Amino acid sequence: MRLLCFLLATLLSATVAWASAGSRIHLIEEAVFDSPEHPATAVTLPDTWMQRGVPTRTAGRYRLAFELDEVPTDPLALMFTHLSTHHRVQVNAHVVSFETHGPNRINPGHPIPVLVDLPPALLRSGLNEIEVEVHYATTAGLSPVQLGPMSELREAYERHLLYRARWPQALNMAAAGLALLLLMIWWRRRSEVALGAFGGLALLTALRNYSYFLVAAIGPVPFGDWLIYGSHVWSVALLGVFAQRFAGVHWPRFTRVLLVTAIALPLLAAVAVVMGESLVLRRYTYPWLIVVSLPSLWLCLRRAWGQGGWPLIAQAVGVAAIITAGVHDYSIQTMGWLPVTEGYWMPFVLPVALITVSLGLVRRVVAALGEVEALNVQLEQRVAERTRELEAANAAKTRFLASASHDLRQPMVSVGLLVSLARDKADTPAMKQLLHKADESIAAMESLLTGLLDLSKLESGTVQVHRTAVRVSDLFASVAAHEGPSAEQKGLVLRLRPSTAVVDSDPVLLERILRNLVSNAIRYTEHGGVLVAARRKPGGRVSIEVWDTGIGIDPSHRKTIFEEFVQLDNAARERSRGLGLGLAIVKRSAEMLDHRLTLRSRPGRGSCFAIEVPLGTHGGQPQVQRSALHRLEAHPLMQRCVVVIEDDPAVRQALEERLRAWGAQVFAFDDLPALHTWLGEALQGPDLVLSDYRLPSGTGMDAIRAVRQRFDVPGHVTQAALLTGDTAPDELARLQTAQVPVLHKPFRAEALLALCARPQAAS
C-alpha cells in the first residue's frame, strides 16, 4: 500500500527532465509523508506539521522522486531551505547527508538550510528516489527541494545564507553593540532609565536573534530553551519600563504586573522544561506577553501623538514594529499559522527599530549634553565675570587699604613723635610709665601699618630679590637679638641650634620670613619654648625649622592661617597675639624666593614651620649685626640744618619739635611755593632735606631737586629722604626708582634719628 502511494505521488510530482546540454534548477514540491500518526500521506511542499495536526516532537519521513533522461557527468545537488539539524537524506538507498542529535547542538531539530551533494555514481537514468528522515523540536516541516547542478545551487545556497542568516547575524551583533552603548550611558547616568531599559531589551533580543542561526551549543539544551523563553519575558518587562519612562508616566499596577510576569513565568518555564512541556507553555503564555505589551505600545503612541516630531514618531513606530514582529514570529514558531519557510521578522525588525529608538534617545542625550555645554559656557562666563568682580574688589580693597593706611599714618607719625618727645621730657616715674604704655599702643598700631606696607610691597612687585650667600648663623644671631626679649618676657626658652650652613637666598627676605615664624611661635606658646634649627636634606637643600610647644593647629585651619588677618584662638583680637599678617607675609615671601614652606602640627602639642633653602657658596659675607638701641646724648643733631616739607600741619609741627629737641635747626614748609621763596632768600644750604612724597603742587622729589639745584656743588650732594604713608602698589613702584632713602610712616623716633645721623653723602 505504501509503495502504491509512493508511485502515485511520483506520477503526480513534478518530474525532472534532465538534458545533459542544459543546466537548470528544478523545484520538487510534491512528496509522501510518513509518520506513526499519519502513514503515507501525500503533501505539498512546503509542509507545516502544525497545520496538519502532526505532533512537533516526533520523527517523520518524506519520500520524493525525480526522473533523469540520462546520468549527468557533472555532480548534482539538493538544496533544502528548511531542514532539521537531526536528519538523514538518502538517494536511491544511499545516504548522502546525515546529522543526529548531539551534545554540540544548541537545539536538536532546529531548522537550517542544507546543501546536499549528489555524486553521479549514485544516480540512474529514469526514476530516482529521495528519502528524507527528520526529527524536530519546534517549527516542524519541510521546504520545497531544489535540484540542479552543484555550481548553480551553491550560488543560490550562499545567497540564501547571506539574506536569511548572515545579514541578520551581522545586524543583531551591531544592535548588541549599540545596546551596550545605551547601557553604558545609563550606567554613567542612572537617571536615564529609558536608555537603560531599552538597551537591556535590545541586548536580550539581539543575542536571542543571533542564537537562532547557531548550530553549536552554548550550554545544555534545556537551559538554552529556558534562557530563550526567559529573554522573551524579560524583554516584555523592559519594554514596559521603557514605555512608562518614554511617556513620562508611572502606572503602579502596570509595573506590578510586569514585575510578577518577569519573575513568575521564568520560574514556571523551568518546571515546564524539566517536564518536557515547554512548547505547551509557550503556546499559552505568549498571548499573555502580547497582551502585556499592548499598554507599552499605547503609551508610546500617545506620547508621539501628543507631542509630535519625527523622533518621537519614529520611536513609537519602532516599538510597534517590535511588537508586530513578535506576533508574527509567535504565529510561526508556536502556532504554525504560517508556512515553515516563512522567515522570522524579529532579527530584521529589531536592529532597525533599535536604530530609530536609539537615535531619538541619543538625540535627547546629545541635546542634554548641548544644554550642559551651554550651561558650562554660561558658568565659565559667570566665573570670569565673578573673577573680574573679585579682581576689581581686590583692587578696591588695595586702594582702600592704601588710602586708609595713608590717612592713619599721618596722625600716627605725629603721635609717635610727640609721645617720644614727651617721654624724654617726663620728670616723674608715673608719667614715664603712662607714656611708656601709650608708646606700646602706638607700637602695636605701627606694627599693623608696617605689615600692610609689607603686603603692599609684595603685591606690587616692587620687592626685588637679590640672591647671595647667606650664613645661617648670622640669621640666627639677628633672630636672637630681635625676638629674644619677647621670649624672655613670656618666660619661654628661645634656643637657636648653631649651624655652619651657608644658603643661597635673599638675606633681607629670608630674615623677614624667619623672624615672622619665630615671632608667631612665641606669640602662641605659653609654656615650654621655641627651637630654631637648620638641617641638611638630600638634593643640596637646607631645612630651616621653627619648633614650638604652643597650642598647635587643627588640620582644617592649616590653609587659612596663611591668609591675611586670620588668627586662631584669638576671638577677642588681643594685640599681644598679633594682627594676622605675619604668616601671610611669610607665604608670599617664600613664593617670591621659590622656597618650599611646610607645616607640621599636633593640636595641643605644638607646631613646626620649615622653609627649604638651597645650599649656597661657602664663606658668605658676614652680615652686619644690628646693635641694640643705645641711649644717645641729649642733642645728637646739634649744629645741623634740616629742611622739612610736609603739608600736614600736625605732622609738620611734630617733626619740627622732635628735631629741635635733638638740637637741629629746622626750616619747615607746607608746599613747594613756600620752599622756593625760602630758596631765593637763603644764603646757606641745609644738611638734610626731609620731604613728604605727596605735596599739593608736586612731589617730594621735586622739592629735593629744587634744593639740590640751588645748593649742590661738585663734591657735595645734599642729603635727602622721602617721608611717605603711601602703600598703593603703583606708588611703591615709583618710590623704588627714586634712588632716595624712604622712611615709611609711621616711623619710630629712633628710626628718624638714625636717618638724620647718617654721614653726609659725597659725589
Q: Mean pLDDT throughout 285-313?
A: 82
> Grid cell 644717645 — which residue?
632
Using left for φ > 0, alpha for ψ between -120 and 50, and beta otherwise, residue 569 falls in left
The candidate with the shortest Cα–Cα distance to 321, out of 299, 349, 295, 297, is 349
pLDDT digits (tens, 9 = 90+) for 37-88: 778 889 999 988 888 888 877 788 999 999 988 888 888 999 998 888 888 9
**Which ranges constitute the DSSP H helices of 594-671?**
649-661
Q: Mean pLDDT throughout 576-601?
A: 76
pLDDT digits (tens, 9 = 90+) for 354-381: 777 777 766 776 777 788 888 888 888 8
* Burial zone of 641 (CB within 10 Å; 0-12 exposed, 13-18 middle, 19+ buried): middle
The candidate with the shortest Cα–Cα distance to 665, out of 689, 685, 642, 686, is 642
Angle at 7 between CA 4 and CA 13, to 5 degrees: 140
The candidate with the shortest Cα–Cα distance to 607, out of 519, 521, 532, 535, is 521
d(CA 52, CA 262): 34
Which amino acid type is present at position 625?
Q
pLDDT number for residue 689: 92
Q: Mean pLDDT throughout 276-287?
A: 81
Q: Mean pLDDT throughout 639-646?
A: 90
pLDDT number for residue 631: 39
pLDDT number for residue 18: 37
* Burial zone of 555 (CB within 10 Å; 0-12 exposed, 13-18 middle, 19+ buried): exposed
**Residue with the larger pLDDT of the pair 618 and 149:** 149
pLDDT number for residue 562: 65
CA distances from 105 to 86, 221, 224 (A): 9, 8, 10
Task: Work out the number of other CB atoms within 10 angstroms of the CB of residue 36.
Answer: 9
Beta strand residue intervals within 136-225, DSSP E: 141-142, 145-149
Residue 594 has pLDDT above 80, yes or no: yes
pLDDT digits (tens, 9 = 90+) for 727-758: 666 666 677 677 788 887 777 777 788 888 76
pLDDT number for residue 715: 73
Of 350-354, 356-360, 533-537, which has the strongest mean pLDDT? 533-537
> Grid cell 502504491 — which residue?
4
pLDDT number for residue 166: 85
pLDDT number for residue 440: 61
Domains of the chain are 2-161 (2.60.120.260), 165-366 (1.20.1070), 367-419+636-763 (3.40.50.2300), 463-614 (3.30.565.10)
Assign 16 to helix, strand or coil.
Answer: coil
Which amino acid type is present at position 243?
A
**451 close to 575: Cβ distance less than 8 angstroms:** no
Nine-digit cell at 227? 534562557
pLDDT digits (tens, 9 = 90+) for 232-250: 889 889 988 988 988 888 8
User: Mean pLDDT, the chain, as a whole number?
Assistant: 79
Size of the chain in residues: 763
pLDDT number for residue 710: 87
**Residue with the larger pLDDT of the pair 628 and 457:** 457
Q: Mean pLDDT throughout 311-330?
A: 80
The candidate with the shortest Cα–Cα distance to 129, out of 86, 68, 213, is 68
pLDDT number for residue 593: 83
The candidate with the shortest Cα–Cα distance to 7, out of 50, 71, 63, is 63
pLDDT number for residue 669: 92
pLDDT number for residue 626: 39
**ω before 351 within 30° of 0 (cis)?**
no
Give the pLDDT band of residue 533 (cuts 50, 70, 90): very high
Give the pLDDT band of residue 667 (cuts 50, 70, 90): very high
pLDDT digits (tens, 9 = 90+) for 432-473: 677 666 666 666 566 555 655 555 655 555 566 778 888 888
Residue 64 β-bridge partners: 130
pLDDT number for residue 146: 92
pLDDT number for residue 254: 92
Residue 355: in which H helix or E strand, if any? helix 346-425
d(CA 192, CA 186): 5
Give the pLDDT band of residue 160 (cuts 50, 70, 90): confident
pLDDT number for residue 569: 52
pLDDT number for residue 557: 67
The candidate with the shortest Cα–Cα distance to 83, out of 215, 273, 175, 177, is 215
**Residue with the larger pLDDT of the pair 3 and 522:** 522
Phi, psi of 588 (to 5 degrees): -70, -35
CA distances from 355 to 178, 339, 351 (A): 8, 29, 6
Q: Mean pLDDT throughout 644-670?
A: 88
**39 close to 89: Cβ distance less than 8 angstroms:** no
Residues 6+ apart with CB under 8 A from 12: 30, 42
Assign 9 to helix, strand or coil.
Answer: helix
**333 close to 140: Cβ distance less than 8 angstroms:** no
**Using the 8-state DSSP alphabet, how is residue 463 labeled?**
P
* Percent of the chain whose pLDDT exceeds 90: 12
Q: Mean pLDDT throughout 80-97?
A: 89
CA distances from 724 to 28, 371, 645, 646, 730 (A): 116, 55, 12, 10, 13
pLDDT digits (tens, 9 = 90+) for 472-506: 888 888 788 778 888 888 889 899 998 888 998 88
Residue 260 has pLDDT above 90, yes or no: yes
d(CA 312, CA 302): 10
pLDDT number for residue 176: 87
Residue 4 has pLDDT above 60, yes or no: no
Of 22-36, 396-410, 595-609, the least confident: 396-410
The CA-based diameter of the chain, rounded to the nearest angstrom, is 159
Give the pLDDT band of residue 570 (cuts 50, 70, 90): very low
**Residue with the larger pLDDT of the pair 135 and 481:** 135
d(CA 244, CA 648): 81
